[in-house]
Amino acid sequence: MAEIIRYFGESYRELEPGTRVVAYRNIDVEERIIYAFGRGVYEGEFTPEQEFTKNGSLIEPRPYPRIRLNNGRVLWGYESELMPIDEDIADILCEFDVIVIDADNARRESREISLN
Q: What local confidence, expressed as pLDDT, does residue 19 receive?
A: 93
The DSSP code sequence of 62-100 is S-EEEEEETTS-EEETTT-EEEE--HHHHHHHTTSEEEE
Q: Percentage of residues in the chain with pLDDT exceeding 70?
A: 76
What does the pLDDT look like over 64-73, one tens digit per residue?
Answer: 999 999 999 9
Residue ranges covered by each domain of the chain: 2-115
Taking the model in full, what pTM does it have?
0.78
